[in-house]
Amino acid sequence: MAAPGSIIGFVGTGVMGRSMAGHLLDAGYRLRVHNRTREKAAPLVDRGAVWCETPGQAAEGAAAVITIVGYPADVEQVYLGSDGLVAASAPGTVLIDMTTSSPVLAQRVHAAGAAVGVPVLDAPVSGGDVGAREARLTIMVGGDPAAFASVEPLLRVMGPNVVLQGGPGAGQHTKMSNQISIAGAMIGACEALAYAEAAGLDPEKVLTSITAGSANSWSLANYAPRMLAGDFAPGFYVKHFIKDMRIALECSREMAIDLPGLELALRLYERLAERGGADSGTQALYLLYKEHAARL
């Protein structure tokens, strides 16, 4: 059981990971941290976390190791590389990948861990930078029920909505459903604001009305004010959202289902990235509507 006081490895201390790891320190866990850019882990080290040069070092003595990195290729390297977590972890250590990644890769990493007695959970999150800072992430988990039960209290430190969705890969499939929904909601938020402005309305007053009714969504309530304020700083990167949508479309094709709304969202975000927006937050989609509405 990964109880407070246990050693927890944490790999990936970027926009979301740093806040998530900070909550674990607040809860009394002892952290061993690794990040490709050491400076991003410095605030955690200053608070008592132990810096590790490799992901494998972060697993030393750990009851569980959490990862939240960028892309499936990063997940593969961190888990299955020569100095990766599967090889470095002691039997019984629970590995928890909170990256949004490929369901197929999640199943492969789970099988590699099972072969050496190391359970692996896929546990992607939703809630963005705000949810990470405020410890109210939604956490979608796939994997072995016993392994999940042993780390559920640890996960609940980072968010109250923690659900075991099924076996290996089920967490990632659930996150794909989440991203498909967000893709449509972000288009809806941008188009609602663009329409309001074209009609000569005060878009902030419009938001006051429509976020109080059935049109409201998390994206509209949280991202639309940033759009209007010209705040396109990343809570969740455009480049990472593109990665997620591509994974979802690949999975949908394998399941022989058509998702035309998702295909449209991906085209728009790819256009935004081509124009220099890859490192912006996903709310920067609004810039296409502001600057190039006639060509959409």
Name which of 120, 23, 125, 122 is nearest 64 in CA terms: 120
59 CB-contact burial (10 Å; exposed 0-12 / middle 13-18 / buried 19+): buried
* Contact of 1 with 59, CB cutoff 8 Å: no
d(CA 29, CA 24): 6
Candidates 40, 175, 243, 290; catalytic one: 175
The verdict on whether 175 is a catalytic residue reads: yes
Spacing of C-alpha 62 from chain mean position: 23
Residue 61 backbone phi and psi in degrees, to 5: 75, 10
Please list the active-site residues.
175
